[in-house]
Chains A and B, each alone.
Chain A
Amino acid sequence: MIRNWKFVTMGRFLPAHFHANAFILFAFSFLKVYRSFVIIKLKEGEIVALGAYRVREGSVAVYIAYIESQPESNPTLTKQKKYRGIRKAMIAFGIQLSIDANCNGVVVFEAKTDELEQHYIRDFGARPVASLYPDGPKTFMIADQVAKDIFSSYLF
């Protein structure tokens, strides 16, 4: 049961090509910010993306534990994208959480497919991190200048 959660402002992460009033963004977290969840939902009720983030005590990075989005926003699945910038917005929220949690904007996540791996490396500047198991999903990190660039793209 979710208790003590609160809404936080996500407005700045709305991709520029969306009409701001067309979207409802929910971002909520537990008071101690151990877990945060984000849901991006259209007013008509369509859920565009959802994500879960973890801030672990003593950790130096925020873990993007899970992100799921509309297939129409996936550049590896469709050439004519219906939604753009969803994944970047979800990563930017992780960077904000990371800075809030004294982790300097470092975020770590696991890519689902080989195609998405290349997308994260090429388009987001993600770099690989040693995985616990060689056969498991590949782990990636976004930090430093790249994290700053992603977050800054929503500032003005």
Chain B
Amino acid sequence: MKEYNKDFHIDFSPMTDETMSWLDELLMTCKRFNVDYYNASEKDRAFVEAVARKNYGLKQAHANGKAASTVAPFFGIHRAG
């Protein structure tokens, strides 16, 4: 967390496009699995966050020309082959 700069009085941190893309992925994953993120249990949140991280990682890898295997496995589950 950055130290507060009293000259600028910024209340909300400037949000990057990357962060918004990540949040889009997370919230769309919630929609897909019918999870109300705001009211979700810790377990549901952990699940949709893990799915979203995997999907976001795969999209980023594809966009950067990297192999899908470079993305961290979903809950540590490695695919065979």
A: which residues have CB within 8 A of B?
A: 51, 54, 56, 58-61, 63-71, 74, 77, 87, 106, 108-116, 127, 129-132, 136-139, 141, 143-144
Contacts and interface: CB of A to CB of B under 8 A. Distances in A.
A98 B19 CA distance: 18
B38 interface: yes
B73 to A, nearest CB: 18
Nearest to A87: B11
B20 A129 contact: no
A-B complex: 7 closest residue pairs judged by Cβ atoms: A110-B13, A137-B13, A143-B38, A132-B22, A67-B12, A130-B49, A65-B15
Q: Contact size class for B? A: 20 to 34
B11 A77 contact: no
Contact of B11 (A65, A74, A132): A74
Contacts of B38: 106, 127, 141, 143-144
A87 B22 CA distance: 25
A143 B26 CA distance: 15
Given A106-B27, A139-B19, 20 more contacts: A54-B20, A56-B20, A59-B23, A60-B27, A61-B23, A61-B27, A65-B14, A66-B13, A67-B10, A68-B8, A68-B9, A110-B15, A113-B2, A114-B1, A129-B26, A130-B45, A130-B49, A137-B13, A141-B37, A143-B37
A54 to B, nearest CB: 6
A63 B20 contact: yes
B72 interface: no
B15 to A, nearest CB: 5
Interface in B1-52: 1-2, 4, 6, 8-15, 18-20, 22-24, 26-28, 30-31, 36-39, 45, 49, 52
Contact of B15 (A64, A74, A127, A144): A64
A58 B68 CA distance: 25
Contacts of B8: 68
Contact of B9 (A58, A69, A136, A143): A69
5 contacts: A63-B15, A112-B11, A114-B1, A132-B19, A138-B1
